[in-house]
Structure 1
Amino acid sequence: MRSAALDEEVGCSSAPTKCVGGKDAENRATDADPCGGNSSSKSTNSPSTSENFGQKAENEALIIPQLDLTGAQIEDDIIKNTQTQRSQPRRKLISLWSYFTLRGFFQLVGRTVGMQPYAYLTVAALLSSQALGMYWMVLKDRIRDGYTPTNAPSRVETDIIREFWNSSGDPMITMMLLKARDKGSMHRPEYLDESQRVIDFLYNNFTVEHKGVTLRFSEMCAPYCNMNKVLQLFKMGYDNELKRVTNGQSPSTTNNLSYPVASIGGISINLDRSFFGVRLQNKSLNATKDKGLPIEKRITNMEHVELVLTLFRGDRENQLRDEQLSKWELAAYEWSIKTYKGNLVELQLVGTEILDSEMMKDGKRMTPFFAAGFGFMITFVSVCVFLSAIYYDALDRGKILVGIGAVTCPILAIVSTYGLISMLGLRINSFMLVMPFLVMGIGVDSCFLMIHSWQRMSRNGYSVVERMGMVYEEVCPSITITSLTDFLSFAIGALAPTPETRLFCLATSIAMAFTFILQLVFFGPILALATRFEHNDTKPRQAIGWRDKVDRVWQKILRIYCRLIGHRIFTICIVSATCVYWYFGIIGLMNMKTRLDVAKILPKNSPLQQPNYILTHIVWSEYHPVTVLINNPFDVTNRTQTNRFWELVDEFQSMPNAKGPESSLIWLKDYIHFSYYGEPYDNALKSVLSDWDFLLGDNEPNKPIDPFKANLTTTKLGQFLRSPFYEHWGPFMKVSNSSEGRLKIDRFWMTIAYQNTSSWETRIGLMEQWRSIVAR
């Protein structure tokens, strides 16, 4: 039986066999021929014969499928088998090289995920542990300079003026807006009294704790503690005139409470920086003699004052003072909206720290929306996964794990990004609070692609390793391309010159990278673990019943769609619609106006919406100052230099929308007056001691001096800056001692006021003109 099987296997027959290939080949063929010669003896020793034949055929690399081949055919088979054996190393190299392709690499990754899912989950846990950095997360916007490009001219201008102030940051400027609750005028006596009381309280008595230190603004306001001197002088003159009129006396000639420039004891003060929404009385009426008018209208030329504005200004000279001023501003804001309950005056505070805080509060208000989005997302994913499993008849407990994993993957990427950003010492701005919505959409979309590919192979009988290798090979290249595109797009944005945009793009690019990595090392192992919950039934199920109907419906829809997109008319319509879309897109891009509108970045119910409206439509409409810094030494004795200075001032004051010389803050005007007329003590005392007019008498106002003709020296400059009436000019100047022992002016700044500047276009136009004047 063994011999017969061997004979059948090698194909022996009674026909003689020819062996070709020379003498040696003939001998070898004869020795190995099981059919020739002594047939009976070979059949009895068939096992050894078979072994010898196999060994010799292997040694000679010759396998003869049939023994009735011709010599040429045998020779061809030898050549082919020799070539096949030589090509085996090349095939191994090609097989190895295939793993260096994108599909081959991801197939290898997928197979390792299928073999060791827990190892990959450990990597995902280590990567997600960066979320612990959220403990140090700081939510903060920078309205002052966060939306200004680093290469903008205003950056250079800001650095110059910071150098002038010798400050590491911009000064804190908190604006207090005071309006009458009954919509009446704010220059009524009781309303001015309440305004002064609130201002004095915040300056001197309102305290806040910071790092164990009790803070008062009066201790932090230097060198701007006299910023509200104008309002104090007006109130002093107002009370004096009120007392005189109440006692039946005539108004004092030393006090003139007229808007926009008042005179108190011989000192001119600009009221247009403190009073807004002012309506003046009819000049034809003699208000001082009409006793039927309210008393405030008899001592001023103002009929109505809608708003009183005062400033709290402090220098951020170092990091500690910056923190203290910020803490005070936020505490004062909380006091104004929660504690202050004045019956007469409506109080509102506005500042950059307050605006930053409100923006972050608005960002935190998105938490319920994110929670709702997360809920909708996990519901949608779960429904899709379960419906797909029902359709493929592969419903099991593992699908719950898949649904949770698909949503958890982008969430881990989001919290890991926030943690990493915080550990790097960077802050989280309000833009970055929008990033989770973007990452959730992209991350879940990629997980759906993996789920779809994994679901289709549920009944094909693949092992976990094979199945994960094919899923990764099929899906991950496309996910890689889209993730890389998104990452590079935001990474390029991280190089933008605008700090707030740069932070947002940096965080989003990191989140995109984390999402992609976690899809490979977290969601892939989740799929591998979920595979173990599937049924062992590998028989393919044909679509029958309702599945067949669903399949037919979708196939029909797909055929209709394919015919539709292939139709010429549909193509023409799509191209036409695209051209129209591009046209309006280009037109909109060319007419787009970039601006930071506080009304748009704050919610409509924010407490800052009303003060922002007041600032935009009342304050900036009536008063918008520009700061002009003279950064070179100034010699008041040099007539050429002083004349050039006054020409520069005239150029600024003659621009469109300029309010005029009376609204400009220029220390040199007061110094000219001081140099010629000295201290206004007599007039000041007369305004205070108004009951002693029979001793002091009334003096006529001093005649104005033409600045172009004034002869000045610096001999009185020190006395001028020490004067209680002019000491508020100190922060406007930087002076030093000359070699002769006299004061010299190193640099100074001034402000020119403009009006009707509510629109951004107007302010931008003015800014361009200011820069062109300075650049000459």
Structure 2
Amino acid sequence: MLSSLGLPVAPYLFVVAKDNGSMIRPDCMRETVKILNYAMNNITMLNRITGQNESFNQFCDSFCQLNEPIRQFYPNFFGVELYNDTDDAIPRLLGGPDIDTVINGSDVVPELPRVTNMKSVKMLAMQFRAEHKPGWTDADVKAWEMKMTEVFERQYHSDIVKVYAYSQSYVEEEMVRGGIIMIPYLVVGFAIMCVCSIVSVMTRALYMHQENWYKTALAVMACLTPLLACSTALAAMFMCGIRFASILCVIPFLVLSIGVDSSYLMIHEWQRVTEHMRETPKKKDSVGHRMSEVLSEVGPAILISCLTNVFADFVGSFTSSPEITLLCTGNMLSMCMAFVYQMTFYAGLMSIVGRCEIDGDLVEKNRMEISIAENRVNIARHHRPLTRQPSKFHEATKPVISKFMRDYVKFMTTPAVYVGIFVIYVSYLVFSIYGITIINISLTATKLFATDSPLLELDKYRVKYQVPSYSMATVFVSNPGNLSDPHRLHRINQYVMCWYFYELLIPLQ
């Protein structure tokens, strides 16, 4: 939670025994107190106003004694037993003196019947809380919290206890590290996509007798353009102050799989327009004319595809959990940016490649005319323009492809087939809707960390030992009113006390 000045200091230290035994043994308690003293006195943060490095004991104003029970338990409370509530007139749980009495003096407790011993404590938790000071920046607070993690998880060594650090800064860093682990998968996926793209584009170009090395550049950039758009969109989000989450690393995969289709549409439409211009040459033929033909044919399809994804993500941005909302927002912006890149960057690259192809056609046409002139062939009586002869690959594959398409269309138009497909589609929709209604969403924070993250092991201890016995509830009062009014302050205090007796809880008005 942010204070009025910035991020507060709020790290935790969890201590467990390495042998999985009890933590109230003398050696474990002694080691825990040593850890507590080191954390409070030796890990410092620079105060930019005073110019001094201050420890937690020096900059803490409130909540400074949160960990005092651990320090006092070791010398004064070790080995005590619980009192029998039926015979104990003293309102204490432990059969020993009060904390204030221990600090300020001594006390003698009469012997009372015991019920049981405090046999085991599996984990000790220490909290370090302090408000943000004017001499700090958010980066200073994060650096101090990460220094706590660095000291006790990577530098501190003990034969009897293991220390786990926990803070918002550490969680964010582990989530970022978990996202970075996905980069090799993205690289491998991009490489596979590029190979498939080059093979498919060059095969189609060979069939259309339009093969050249420029098509390779178009095939590779068809895969790279969505990633460029994704990088631009995410960079704009981070510049606007939107936080990073490892789930955002999924966006490049989504944008790559969707955005590459638009490039393929433009490539194949360009080849169709080029073939048409070769068969029926026109004086107005130019790169601009061909590109206008391409965009007029496939532009609406690309726009509709973009809007479909944008509207779907727009709905998810307002109706989902925080992490999914972040994912939908990033994906929505990435799809918008992919459309912009498609209509500007990729269209411009295709125009450059198209200019090279047109120049190549002119050179080949001139070479053919020279060859014909040298052989004294009278081409005037043929009354037809010079055209390319179909390639051998085209001649060999055209009958096979034509036969396959005829058989496929005949099969798909059979009543039994299209009725069956319709029934399967309706069944799929019904099954999907039913699945959505009963789906169990289990997106937990642990799934956002790397498999070797210490936070995974810490979460197991926390869920097993801390959550069942010590779970805090936070209540926010959005309109507390004027707390200078004694009556209003009394109502607030009354409301707080009612939480201890839930059945007496009354609405605050």
Q: Report the TM-score when normalising by structure 1.
A: 0.51
Is residue 464 of structure 1 aligned with residue 289 of structure 2? no
What is the DSSP-based 3-state SS (H/G/I as helix, E as strand, rest coil) of the residue aligned with 1:304? coil
What is the DSSP-based 3-state SS (H/G/I as helix, E as strand, rest coil) of the residue aligned with 2:473? strand
* C-alpha deviation, 1:446, in angstroms: 0.5
Query: Structure 1 CA distance, aligned partners of 2:304 and 2:117?
Result: 73
Matched-pair contact (CA < 8 Å) for 1:490–1:508: yes
* C-alpha deviation, 1:502, in angstroms: 4.9
What is the DSSP-based 3-state SS (H/G/I as helix, E as strand, rest coil) of the residue aligned with 1:214? strand
* Aligned residue number for residue 106 of structure 2: none
Seen in structure 2, the aligned counterparts of structure 1 residues 540 and 321 have a Cα distance that, compared at 3 Å, is closer
Matched-pair contact (CA < 8 Å) for 2:42–2:55: yes
* C-alpha deviation, 1:569, in angstroms: 2.8
Matched-pair contact (CA < 8 Å) for 1:261–1:268: no
What is the DSSP-based 3-state SS (H/G/I as helix, E as strand, rest coil) of the residue aligned with 1:226? coil
Equivalent runs, 1:296-335 vs 2, <5 Å: 301-316=117-132, 320=136, 322-335=138-151
Is residue 206 of structure 1 aligned with residue 43 of structure 2? yes
Seen in structure 2, the aligned counterparts of structure 1 residues 648 and 469 have a Cα distance that, compared at 3 Å, is closer
Equivalent runs, 1:614-763 vs 2, <5 Å: 614-627=461-474, 649-651=500-502
Equivalent residue for 1:539, pick from 367, 382, 387: 387
Query: Structure 2 CA distance, aligned partners of 1:642 and 1:349?
Result: 34
Provide Cα deviations, 1:663-717, integer angstroms capped at 9, x if missing partner.
xxxxxxxxxxxxxxxxxxxxxxxxxxxxxxxxxxxxxxxxxxxxxxxxxxxxxxx
Is residue 216 of structure 1 aligned with residue 55 of structure 2? yes
* Aligned residue number for residue 478 of structure 1: 301
Equivalent runs, 1:22-421 vs 2, <5 Å: 167=4, 172-208=9-45, 214-238=53-77, 261-267=93-99, 301-316=117-132, 320=136, 322-421=138-237
* Aligned residue number for residue 35 of structure 1: none
* Amino acid paired to 1:405: M
Provide Cα deviations, 1:139-183, integer angstroms capped at 9, x if missing partner.
xxxxx7xxxxxxxxxxxxxxxxx8xxx756785432221111122
Matched-pair contact (CA < 8 Å) for 1:220–1:325: no
Q: How much identity, in percent, do the aligned residues show?
A: 24
Matched-pair contact (CA < 8 Å) for 2:310–2:335: yes
Query: Structure 2 CA distance, aligned partners of 1:172 and 1:641?
Result: 27
Structure 1 residue runs of 5 or longer lacking an equivalent are 1-143, 145-161, 243-255, 270-282, 285-299, 654-771
Seen in structure 2, the aligned counterparts of structure 1 residues 347 and 213 have a Cα distance that, compared at 3 Å, is same
Matched-pair contact (CA < 8 Å) for 1:167–1:318: no
Query: Structure 2 CA distance, aligned partners of 1:428 and 1:624?
Result: 27
Seen in structure 2, the aligned counterparts of structure 1 residues 647 and 609 have a Cα distance that, compared at 3 Å, is closer
* C-alpha deviation, 1:400, in angstroms: 2.8
What is the DSSP-based 3-state SS (H/G/I as helix, E as strand, rest coil) of the residue aligned with 2:254? helix
Matched-pair contact (CA < 8 Å) for 2:149–2:165: yes
* C-alpha deviation, 1:339, in angstroms: 0.4
Query: Structure 2 CA distance, aligned partners of 1:472 and 1:519?
Result: 11
* C-alpha deviation, 1:379, in angstroms: 1.9
Provide Cα deviations, 1:172-221, integer angstroms capped at 9, x if missing partner.
43222111112222111111100100111011112355867524222333
Seen in structure 2, the aligned counterparts of structure 1 residues 562 and 318 have a Cα distance that, compared at 3 Å, is farther
What is the DSSP-based 3-state SS (H/G/I as helix, E as strand, rest coil) of the residue aligned with 1:621? coil
* Aligned residue number for residue 434 of structure 1: 250
* C-alpha deviation, 1:627, in angstroms: 4.8
* Amino acid paired to 1:618: Y
* C-alpha deviation, 1:378, in angstroms: 2.0
Matched-pair contact (CA < 8 Å) for 1:634–1:641: no
How many residues in Structure 1 have an aligned counterpart in Structure 2? 446
What is the DSSP-based 3-state SS (H/G/I as helix, E as strand, rest coil) of the residue aligned with 1:396? coil
Provide Cα deviations, 1:97-147, integer angstroms capped at 9, x if missing partner.
xxxxxxxxxxxxxxxxxxxxxxxxxxxxxxxxxxxxxxxxxxxxxxx7xxx
* Aligned residue number for residue 458 of structure 2: 611
Q: Whose relative contact order is higher, 1 or 2, with alpha carbons under 8 Å and at least 6 apart?
A: 1
Provide Cα deviations, 1:498-545, integer angstroms capped at 9, x if missing partner.
66555544443332232222222222232222232444356243475x
Seen in structure 2, the aligned counterparts of structure 1 residues 634 and 571 have a Cα distance that, compared at 3 Å, is farther
Query: Structure 2 CA distance, aligned partners of 1:540 and 1:321?
Result: 70
Provide Cα deviations, 1:66-113, integer angstroms capped at 9, x if missing partner.
xxxxxxxxxxxxxxxxxxxxxxxxxxxxxxxxxxxxxxxxxxxxxxxx
Query: Structure 1 CA distance, aligned partners of 2:498 and 2:255?
Result: 58
Query: Structure 2 CA distance, aligned partners of 1:651 and 1:425?
Result: 40
Provide Cα deviations, 1:212-259, integer angstroms capped at 9, x if missing partner.
7524222333201011122122123146x79xxxxxxxxxxxxx9xxx
Structure 2 residue runs of 5 or longer lacking an equivalent are 81-87, 102-113, 366-385
Matched-pair contact (CA < 8 Å) for 1:314–1:325: no
Matched-pair contact (CA < 8 Å) for 1:494–1:506: yes
* Amino acid paired to 1:612: D
Query: Structure 2 CA distance, aligned partners of 1:513 and 1:474?
Result: 20
Equivalent residue for 2:346, pick from 523, 539, 542: 523
Query: Structure 2 CA distance, aligned partners of 1:377 and 1:351?
Result: 39
